[in-house]
Amino acid sequence: MFLTQRGLRLLVKLLYAADHVPMDELKNELGVSARTIYYELKRVNDWLAFHQFDCVRHVRGSGFYIISEQQNRIKEMLPQLGDSEYGYTPLERRALDLLFILSQPAPVFVEDLIDLTDVSRNTVLEDIRLLKSELAKQGLTLDFKLSAGYFVAGVETAIRHEIHQWLNRIERLAEVNKLPIEIGQAYFPLSVACLKELLHTCETELHIEFADHTLESFSMELCFYFNRIQRGKYVNVTTEEMRTLQETDEFTAALRFMTRASKEAGISIPDEEAYFLSTLFLSAKRQKQAEAKQSQEHCLIRSIARNMIFEFERYACIVFQDRDKLEANLVVHLKPAYYRMKYHVDAVNELADSVKQAHPEVYEITKKVVHHLEKAACAPASENEIAFLAMHFGGWMKREGLQPVSRCSVLIVCAEGVGTSAIVKQQLIDLLGYVNVAGILTKREYGKLDSVAVDFVVATTPVEPKGKPVHVVHPIFSNHDKKTLLKYGEASNGHQEHITLAKVVAAVRKHATVYNEQALLSELKTILQAPHRQWKEEWKPVLNELLTEKTIFLHQTAQDWKEAIRKAAAPLLADGAIEARYVDAMIQSVEDNGPYIVITPGVAIPHSRPEAGVNRLGMSLATFKEGVRFSNKDTKPVKIVIVLAAIDSVTHLRALSQLTSLLGEPGAIDRLAEMTSTKEVVSLIQQFSTI
């Protein structure tokens, strides 16, 4: 009985789901139509029936599921699925072809690749053609000689980076034991288990803990690297890089690692390999970080974090209250990102597209501020790196003023690192409000527990329940994730709420006579119960919904910048969107922090915190014929003042992004400053107000 790769992914998704899985979620997960899902479900059901399991069930309005009584037995069968039951995708075939060619001591021919991937000769040749094109982009060539078979030529460091990339693309195969035996450990001088133990020793020496996902993939990568070393394929490191790396603790740990590995494998390892390994240690994602030393490198990265935060606040028109804590957390992420960029180790981020789709404004602002990191690393940031940073900023943007009251308790299990853990935690608090996060564990730490004393567990990777429900979620919560967690959070809250009210009534009985306990219980519930939080799509208005003819004043005059702010804010004040104290707060902010609100020559966007007097979201625009100076350093007087009254750190971002696009058009600022008709201004704004 045959299961395709897509069918196996579908089966695994249903087995590890915390609840019914709706059709839309399956379509998004697999990237196919509903018709294809039904086709794959039929094959999955045939496979289940063949092995005497019940078929996948469906509940209208909820989704698909596999009965819980059979889930564990089916999971036990997954690793034993034969190779004939798994059909590789084109991407997986190319990855397997490349890794096979790079790791085999004997010549590799077309016939070997046919046996490896179980496809026709023409399909293998097409895969090779595509692989040649992809490797050429990295400066590598895939050649063929009758005496040597297929081989990859190029700089060894670039070949190692390709091993890293292609292994990450097929990590799902390793998770369900679908790597072919030919890619197994037969040609590796050290096993995955042995290398993992050596990495554990390094974690202890460095006082760190690699992210679970990093540890697993790192161990497999090192198998391939040692295979290359055994066959005399060594990396080259420049003298300057050596000098820089020698000053790091990671280099010392890498030297010890190589000494132990050399002894275990019985092979000689050049010193350059320790330098290369230290770059991997430095660029690896970490779950726990050693206490930072005040080194030159640490000061540089802290400076990068500080500058990025300041500029992000400026572009987003927000002020982070807990800036020091944000800076400390950002430094933890920036250190490996800095080394990944510096040593050209590509970041693998499956969430990049989700981040860009779910938080486009945050992503675009992050893209603008990442130049501080790029300048220090002397390398451009990839979309994956920018998405990681956007996740950090996005996770902190809703922290302002949150004081959640503990109701239900939850444990977070995250394998992707400390930054992602913080984002998952913040999303939970934002979504449920009344939730006590009892702890954040790695998958390894969770696996050592016998039971958990919480209401439920939220995990970003499949884990076994330990007496409490487990909800497996995407690190950036999907709509289905949010609805599931809200539903469960409400159930948990209700239970604790009943206990709390009962205790209050019991205390009242001790000191007073209760004539109508039911009425007392009802009234106490009304008083104590917090407002019910329903999840809904975030409302983010477009630019022309905020800047209208009523909020645009042209060709004003002002004696100084303070008067300019007051005149620009007048429409919002008259409309009740802001209070007078908000105008004072904007002026005070400039006096305290300098003219940071001048975002580009000729344009200022004064703003302050929502609690300083904002009643509802608003924006107003005023132009000044003569212009005003916000400091003596201004080379160009400000002629356009746009007041922003934000209700939080997120809702205004779409309109602000559109405003930035408008102001970025060549000549737009001068043209806007000279316009004499509000209708003309509104017409221009309309062009940039797409939904």
Identity at 223, one-letter amino acid code: C
Query: Rounded CA gap, 343 and 328, in Å?
Result: 23
- Helix ranges (DSSP H) in 271-370: 271-283, 296-316, 323-342, 352-358, 360-369
Candidates 475, 639, 619; CA nearest to 552 is 619
Query: Rounded CA gap, 664 and 644, in Å?
Result: 18
Query: Rounded CA gap, 679 and 682, in Å?
Result: 5
Which residue is catalytic, options 333, 372, 392, 607? 607
Max distance between CA atoms of the chain, in angstroms, equals 99
Candidates 234, 237, 229, 297; CA nearest to 266 is 229
Query: Rounded CA gap, 348 and 109, in Å?
Result: 30
Kindly give, in sequence order, each residue whose CB lies less than 8 Å from that of residue 63, ignoring residues fewer than 6 positions away: 19, 20, 21, 22, 23, 25
3-state SS track over 108-137? ECHHHHHHHHCCCHHHHHHHHHHHHHHHHC
- Burial string for 493-505 (b: 16+ CB within 10 Å, else e) reads beebbeeebeebe
DSSP symbols for 193-233: HHHHHHHHHHHHHHT-EE-HHHHHHHHHHHHHHHHHHHTT-
Query: Rounded CA gap, 603 and 600, in Å?
Result: 6
Task: For residue 545, give both structure tokens.
Answer: 């919904």
- Burial string for 264-275 (b: 16+ CB within 10 Å, else e) reads bbeeebeebbbb
**Residues 65, 14: contact at Cβ < 8 Å?**
yes
Which residues share a beta bridge with 408?
435
β-sheet with 598-600: strand ranges across = 552-556, 618-628, 638-645, 603-604, 598-600
Which residues share a beta bridge with 457?
411, 470
Query: Rounded CA gap, 343 and 330, in Å?
Result: 20
DSSP one-letter code for 402? -
Annotated catalytic residue 607 = yes
> Annotated catalytic sites, by residue?
607
